[in-house]
Chain A
Amino acid sequence: MNHQAPERIAVVGFGPVAARLVDELLPAVRAGRVLLTVIGSESAPAYNRVLVADLGVGRTTPEDIELADADELRAAGVNVRLGRTVRRIDRPRRRIELDDGSHDPYDRLVLATGAGAIVPTLTGLNPDPAAVHLLPPGVTALRDLADAARLRETVHRGGHVIVLGGGILGIEAALAAAEEGARVTVVHNGDRPLARNIDHGGGKTLARTLRAAGIDLVSGARSTGVRFLPQAGGRHRFEALELEDGRRIDGDLLLLSCGIRPRTGLAEGAGLPVAKGILVSHRLEADKEGTIFAIGDCAEVRCTDPACAGCSGPGGGPAGLIGPGWRQAEWLARRLVPQDPSAAGTGGADGAPAQLAAERPGVMLLKARNVDMASAGAVEAELWDDEVGSGGCGGTIPPRQVAQWADPEHGRYVKMVTRGGVLEGLVCVGMPRTAAELVLLYERGSELPADRTALFRLDAAEQLPDLSGPADPAASLCRCTGATHGQVQEAVAGGCHSPGAVGDATRAGTGCGGCRSRIVDMIEAHLQSAGAATGTS
């Protein structure tokens, strides 16, 4: 190893993805190979945003969703700056300027600024993205600890929460709030909830399930405005949501769940290319020099190849899922600090692969108790669909196939979209074991069993204990000792009328003892029939 000066790495943003990067870089920080600065705009270090809805309904505590400990990081030598934002990036001088006027130099800069909630265009709300922190009382997004506290207050007193938006985060929050005792209405504009992630049949099944869980579902609704109740002392408080058709829905809290928007302002200001997110290559580079990187919700992976499967999907933008963000963080850490080969485990690969592996279109799993929904990939294909362009000459690409099971009465629905037996998409509602198995097979790209019903049956009622007729005398009755039905029957007939006596004669029942009740049954049956035969019973 050479003894060059440690590299200065600055990380802007301290959410879950940044926290993972910091964790991965920590050994290099401890070894003095890296000087690490991380700047978070919230006063708390990273916490698990996935669990903010749980926090909002009082199921967990801020402490329990922490992902980082600022003191511990500082003790390890990380420069942790909380409650600070970065005003601008001075690329020529390789330094960042903070809102307190201070400057931090960097050799490498990682943007992990995440995404903020979208504020919909509604009369009464300021649509400026920067105004999301200035929402009026009774209106909130659900992204950070302060949002969670607002939701918690309403849920705690059993108030009425109106969730605006039928996306996955909105539905999760709605289910959690309903289960914790709030009255919940979900207002969304599609014909079914989760319209972006789920097909028609699955969505209809899910809608029924949500209603059964006590949620008021207002579908196909366009909301136009927000009404406020004047309050003494200034700011008005949320009173009702107004719909285009003239309806108004009164409530205590309006929870905006209308999607997220990557925070790209800082990158834009620095002249970095931006589309929906900060544009990065497959090596997560935001600039040509490979000095600035972007990861997580703020980053949009895009290369020059329009057919590239590894880029963010059509329609673009970051996935908004934590898994890909964490994989980016892990990959980038290996890229920034090539691993010490001596630290590699058995068979472990050292160093980062040339470029980040492509992500499959993400899996959506509804995070809720007692309501089970999974979807992934292409879900829109329907039974009997003729696929355009398939089945033609060449024929090297097998056609897309759909297998489906629907039982709306019992809230069960599954669709498997396959090509060559491998899942391209799936929807599964109300069948948790099937969902778990399908998601596993989807993630691995494994071929499904040709008998697709093997998968449906995973959620079948457990097989009842066998009530078969008379047992084969040669079949073993006692697994542990191998004693057979015939041997036991013979012993019983020969005068062994207690389990102990049968055990002495045949060993049956002397292992785990699990068959003793059956031995007792056989003895009783024998005594009864013997008694009947002699007329003494």
Chain B
Amino acid sequence: MATHTHCPYCALQCAMRLAPAGRMAVPAGTASAVAETGTTAAGPAPAGTVLEAAGRDFPTNRGGLCRKGWTSPTLLNSPERLTTPLLRGADGELHPVGWDAALDRAAGAVRAAWAAYGTDAVGVFGSGGLTNEKAYQLGKFARLALRTSRIDYNGRFCMSSAAAAGNRAFGLDRGLPFPLADLDNAHTVLLLGSNVADTMPPFVAHLQGTRDAGGLIVVDPRRSATAALTGGGTGLHLQPSPGTDLALLLGIAHVVVQEGLADKEFIQRRTAGYRSVARSLNAWWPERVQAVTGVPAELVRETARRLAEGARRARAGLTAGGSYILTGRGVEQHVDGTDTATAAINLSLLLGLPGTTHSGYGTLTGQGNGQGGREHGQKSDQLPGYRKITDPAAREHVAAVWGIAPDQLPGPGLPAVELLKSLGRPGGVRCLFVHGSNIAVSAPDAGRVLAGLRSLDFLMVADFVLSETAAEADLVLPVLQWAEEEGTMTNLEGRVLRRRRAVTPPEGARSELWIMQELAARLGAPSMFSDNPETIFEELRRASAGGPADYSGIDYGILDDDSVPAYWPFPAGSAGTPRLFLEAFAHADGRARFTAVSPGDTADALHRPGELTLVTGRLLEHYQSGAQTRRVAELSAAQPEPRLQLHPATALPLGIGNGDMAEISNHRGTVRARAELSTDIRPDTVFLPFHFAGEQSANLLTQAATDPVSGMPEFKTSAVQVRVLEKAGSR
């Protein structure tokens, strides 16, 4: 009997079945597979059982899995799996230690930091990979047990700009405010800065209808696997120079206004602020946009007309109608990321897309629980239910649920990049807990982060392998993997899903919930901490009740029956909200807000002689920092090392041939990677994947400059120099 759960990796959270190897009873996709119940009658398989995965029919992945999902069980039995706490000894090496001693040591370090520097000297760095229960309890643990305001998470690196823009425009941020399957019949989809064909391949099936209609428009400086989906008459690929997405969006919106393509009725009835945005768009006629972005004026016009046509067809009631605008990290991870997402939203509002049943705007959340992870108090400025920590009513509500006085709650802390900059500094964090994140590889300007980690008095890392960050720790606590735990995840649609245990964890690994519970007790924390996910979820329901991300009507019973899709907000007594904003937007007056935005300067000065622009991104075979996927033999064999993608015309004068080792450097750091020549990239741009560590770590080159609104770092435009190190085959 297979266990029904979801993939451990990205936000698509593909439905999968896990079963002991050779015991996958029913082939995927058959009727009997659908009829299988979620719970496993026989209980989890014994520790050490080798599992295999198969896709399971579900509206998002339709039975599909990518290579990462297929191979995900491999890691459960990896020889690199940690099964005992490790404490750094006087010899500077990590040594096994018992759980009691480990937890006592952690609690002692917290007390020492409190005594020497105050409670804000203790920090927590969380993750968009944690279950809702862990994210929720981690936020509570930071504020009540560690008594610190200094908590933030790696979602700040991915979702914060789109989230800020969504909140500003709609009054609410849910990545996709509509079910993914709504895309199936769309006439036009504008996909900006997202490479779904590599990052979440089963997503691509939802673009087929649009491709058949010739309406997939992909914006990417590279002809990525996703951009290549537009070939053969299925759509358009716009290839702007890195860092110019905002101008491109303004140009498309300009055409919408100037050619009378805007949905005036929608604008009048459902929005505010149109006039000032229309005036600001005036300055961005297509030829001017072309001169800034390198995208031909005619393609700017064509994109605008195509989007308007899709919206018009939907309003006319045609079945193949509707236009969607979707943004990804490529346009969001910039110092003007919030404004760029806002420009995409403005465009969608001009066309009358959001808050309808046929069209919309959305952002594609990346991490497995990147959505839930940003709702339950892991962010420096938030409390559970997507509440603001500065809002007195929100503090009162959450304090009441937690059984404390509101003034026992710390105020807002520091967003991730600021938090990491403060490590070991006067007034900064001296004792850091890291959960589910590999910041030594994934944070911008990673060299500086590593130096910060090394300057700490105490670093505790909870992980199931010895990641590059764990390798820096004073104390490493071995925790559970996805197939060993129960809980909930919220996918990119804002749909809450059940993660289920398929196998008993190895002896020695412990749940993070239990670790928090134990430490809270040692630190004399008030309120309740539990190691039982369902108990925590029950409290989460109450804490989120009445907040923007209201989960109060959801329980494990509902989630165990996948036929009731649990889209939040799901207040008690309701049936959830598959589509947001159909009646009204979430601002008090029910209207969406236009906000005029304009391009600023990039953080690095670009295009100086002898320099190229580095963009970073993902490979199909790897996930995030690669801490997990680099340890899966099949994936590692397919992509063992990063490859620097560059245009042959750029490589020629540099003396770089295909397969040569190249050095990529700037004042922040130096990276070595093998060159891969390709005409799929602009000649002024080079690409590195960020899944690799050490001297292969792309984030040694990225910068910690941040968006002023969201705190999102600039990952996508770094000025670099490239030179050849060693010709292929010269050794």
Contact = CB atoms under 8 A, between A and B. Distances in A.
A482 B258 contact: no
B257 interface: yes
Given A69-B275, A507-B70, A59 B259 contact: yes
A435 B67 contact: no
Contacts of A454: 647-649, 679, 683
B399 interface: no
Interface in A461-481: 462, 465, 479-481
B201 A451 contact: no
B285 A449 contact: no
B454 to A, nearest CB: 25
Nearest to A434: B296
Given A367-B287, A443-B291, A512-B203, A346 B297 contact: no
B706 interface: yes
A511 B298 contact: no
Interface stretch (B156-164, B586-594, B601-609, B694-702): B601-609
A447 interface: yes
Nearest to B301: A369
Nearest to A16: B283
A443 B244 CA distance: 14
**B: interface residue count bin:** 35 or more
Given A60-B260, A449-B683, A512-B64, A436 B295 contact: yes
A48 interface: yes
Given A479-B225, A482-B67, A512 B258 contact: no
Contacts of A48: 282-283, 285
B117 to A, nearest CB: 27
A131 B210 CA distance: 57
Contacts of A444: 607
B66 A480 contact: yes
A395 interface: no
A437 B708 contact: no
A11 interface: no
B600 to A, nearest CB: 7
B202 interface: yes
Nearest to A370: B298
Nearest to A514: B204
Contacts of B287: 365-367
A370 B297 CA distance: 10
B23 interface: no
Given A365-B287, A450-B652, A510-B55, A348 B601 contact: yes
Contacts of A465: 231-232
A323 B288 contact: yes
A118 interface: no
Given A67-B283, A482-B634, A511 B202 contact: yes
Contacts of A504: 27-28
Contacts of B202: 480, 511-513
What secondary structure prevails in chain A residues at the interface with B?
Answer: loop
Interface residues of A, number: 61
Contact of A479 (B201, B208, B257, B292): B201
Contact of B66 (A51, A446, A447, A481): A481
A440 B225 contact: no
B205 A436 contact: no
A67 B295 contact: no
B25 to A, nearest CB: 13
B649 A450 contact: yes
B241 interface: yes
Interface string A487-522: 000000000000010011001001111100000000
Contact of B285 (A50, A436, A445): A50
A306 interface: no
A64 interface: yes
B192 interface: no
B285 A51 contact: yes
A372 interface: yes
Nearest to B604: A347
Given A347-B603, A365-B290, A511 B65 contact: yes
Contact of A440 (B205, B285, B288, B294): B294
Contacts of A447: 609
A439 B290 contact: yes
B719 to A, nearest CB: 12
A432 B652 contact: no
A479 B251 CA distance: 34
B497 interface: no
Contacts of A482: 67, 621, 634, 638
Given A479-B225, A480-B64, A439 B291 contact: yes
B683 A479 contact: no
B197 interface: yes
B653 interface: yes
Contacts of B282: 47-48, 51, 64-67
Nearest to B596: A23
A483 to B, nearest CB: 9
Interface in B597-619: 600-601, 603, 607, 609
Contact of B258 (A51, A69, A372, A435): A51
A345 interface: yes
A435 B65 CA distance: 42
A437 B294 contact: yes
A198 to B, nearest CB: 15
A372 B296 contact: yes
Ordered nearest first, which 8 A-B pairs have the shortest CB separation? A449-B649, A512-B204, A432-B296, A480-B201, A365-B287, A511-B201, A444-B607, A454-B649
Interface of B: 27-29, 55, 62-67, 70, 197, 201-205, 208, 225, 229, 231-232, 241, 257-260, 275-276, 278-279, 282-283, 285-288, 290-299, 301, 335, 600-601, 603, 607, 609, 620-621, 634, 638, 647-650, 652-653, 679, 683-684, 705-706, 708
Interface of A: 16, 47-48, 50-51, 54, 59-61, 64-69, 72, 323, 326, 345-348, 363, 365-367, 369-370, 372, 432-433, 435-437, 439-441, 443-447, 449-451, 454, 462, 465, 479-482, 500, 503-504, 507, 510-514
28 contacts: A48-B282, A48-B283, A51-B258, A66-B275, A66-B279, A67-B282, A69-B275, A326-B283, A345-B600, A369-B301, A436-B290, A440-B241, A443-B291, A445-B609, A446-B684, A449-B647, A449-B649, A449-B652, A450-B649, A454-B683, A462-B232, A479-B225, A480-B202, A500-B29, A504-B28, A510-B63, A513-B62, A513-B208
Given A363-B291, A436-B290, A479-B225, 13 more contacts: A59-B260, A345-B600, A436-B291, A437-B294, A449-B683, A479-B201, A480-B201, A480-B202, A481-B67, A500-B27, A512-B64, A513-B202, A513-B205
